[in-house]
Structure 1
């Protein structure tokens, strides 16, 4: 059997408006990856319902995320774009992984602790088992690469732990059925069915911060709409939010070291650098020593040029929800063709009667 072929998988939850942070930290990078690898892009709607979602709002958000992907440059014909719940193999494989993963692994997940807060007893079981479903999302396609933010890196490490334990526990069975490849695991090499998926974390502004507080990540859950640029914002709104973004009274520094202790300045320079495909040093070389009253208009013009066309195209796509549904349905059929083979192999490996 041939070695694992490079394949990218990534997804976004349909929980509220996508914003500039999602675009710079994820979607724009995905567009570039299309030229390098075969890709699957997923609207992870099953993950969304780990906390309650208003059904009508969830339906709208699923279509809006798909529209944002396409408007940003994701090609659903050359690659695969689908919503997670249309591919039931994700949930079935997640149950098998629930039986592979250890309780202690899940209890160490910092994101569960943050989302559950102090009242853990009222958190859903789905929120607790979220990382197991994420592992199934990735490994249903035996994806080798996953573009992730720092907040998801721990979950990808757990995906690797689940893959490693599965490979180790069933190595002889995998070898006997001729379904795997040799994988180095510590001091030994086992016949593994699942790859050890690697993260892709890169870019000058993979972590975009709030316009109201540079110490907090830009978030769609922030009650202030002025804290973020939504991908649906028009040109006037984009420019207004940048004009109102919090800054400090000092001029921009001439070197990146001067951004230390200035989170709002660092954030805006990083956004400019990312939108213009330049380094922070380049931006400060041009604007260092100048006040924000000169820098912000230039940033606003750049942001409008890059983002307003996406908003316009999103509105056009969203005017035809039936076409979005057809695109997602077609993507799901193509995704299932891959995931069903994986699930069939996994059932055979673990000893479940199948077919």
Structure 2
């Protein structure tokens, strides 16, 4: 049995857990904006606040972080009229489909998730059930909109593979072709931005060293200082990107430069090959300040009017629910639930 053809649609989101960094911008937001501006897909973007509570959140901080993340989306270039922007908890279909998918997914699938092993560690007995099961909710986030494409970082690719497994099992179990087999979109430089202190580790707000990351709220002087003190090696930059293979810190800075400038790494290397760090780092700092300062300024302006942010999110939730409700209703019908009202 074949259902309707799938509309080209993008879904992605970020957790509103505070501490937004350059990694969030280059690894997610800049790519979201590019997909919106390409105009080839309907774009749905979301603050996944239900995912945030898999670990305990201070309620006031969660409220602030959700609005901050929304401001980050808009300041980075997401147009709430051209894309759909909302917070996950305002569309009840996410939680409902998440439960349905938790009954489709298998325990073994969840237990193999690398992020579960990393986050729960040896303390898994005290981790929340939500932390273990949240890949089923992530699948629901995507498939509730019949999303055909999801921009993801390498660290989320395993969860998207699980989403594909859940869609395939549902379709097989019920003899339908209802859920799409969503494709990951992993492309471009700096899809995974690394620490400025250790090029083998991802840039993270949880790193104890503030010098390891560029925070979205950093001022121009702080950005320049962090890049100036970023760990590198004594060698000059090579003339081709392949020469950076065994130089993780150097490769990370080149990737950041390429991503911020919207250029390929090969194009960048043709310009900076042979350059020393004393020349390259100030160039990178100036570029970062030029690109990030307007975003920070616009975020601050938006955060001064939380009622306007809430209005935008509310309108986005209405638009999201208009897509989600019929898909959820059809899912329930396929599974045999009685629609009594």
Task: Give the one of 315, 325, 341 matched to 2:300.
Answer: 315
Separation in 2 of the partners of 1:134 and 1:207? 20
Where in structure 1 are there 5+ consecutive unaligned residues?
A: 172-190
Match for residue 12 of structure 2 among 7, 10, 13: 10
Q: Which shows bigger deviation, 232-241 or 126-135? A: 232-241
- Match of residue 266 from structure 1: 251
Distance in 1 separating the partners of 2:265 and 2:185:
21
Question: Aligned-pair distance for 1:228?
Answer: 0.9
Instruction: Please list the CA deviations of residues 92-125 of structure 1 after superposition, one character each: whole Å capped at 9, or x if unmatched.
Output: 1111111111111111111100100111111110
Q: Deviation at 1:290?
A: 2.1
- TM-superposed CA distance for 1:333, in Å, is 1.1
What is the aligned counterpart of 2:109 among 88, 105, 112? 105
1:193 aligns with 2:197: no
- How far off its partner does 1:74 sit? 0.2
RMSD: 1.1
Of 294, 304, 319, 1:334 maps to 319
Aligned partner of 1:167 among 164, 168, 171: 171
Aligned to 1:58: 62
- Is 2:334 the partner of 1:353? no
Deviation at 1:285, TM superposition (A): 2.1
TM-score (norm 1): 0.92
Determine the structure 1 residue equivalent to 2:33.
31
Kindly state the Cα deviation for residue 335 of structure 1 after the two structures are TM-superposed.
Answer: 0.9
Number of matched residues?
Answer: 336
Q: Does the CA contact (< 8 Å) of 1:16 and 1:61 recur in 2?
A: yes
Is residue 28 of structure 2 the alignment partner of residue 43 of structure 1?
no
Shift of 1:197: 0.6
Residue 211 of structure 1 pairs with residue 215 of structure 2: no
Residues 1:229 and 2:233 aligned together: no
Distance 1:290 1:169 in 2: 59
Gaps of 5+ in 2: none
Matches within 5 A, 1:151-162: 151-162=155-166
Q: Are residue 19 (structure 1) and residue 21 (structure 2) matched?
A: yes
CA distance in 2, matches of 1:282, 1:261: 20
SS in 2 for 1:199: strand
Instruction: Tell me the TM-score normalised to structure 2 length.
Output: 0.96
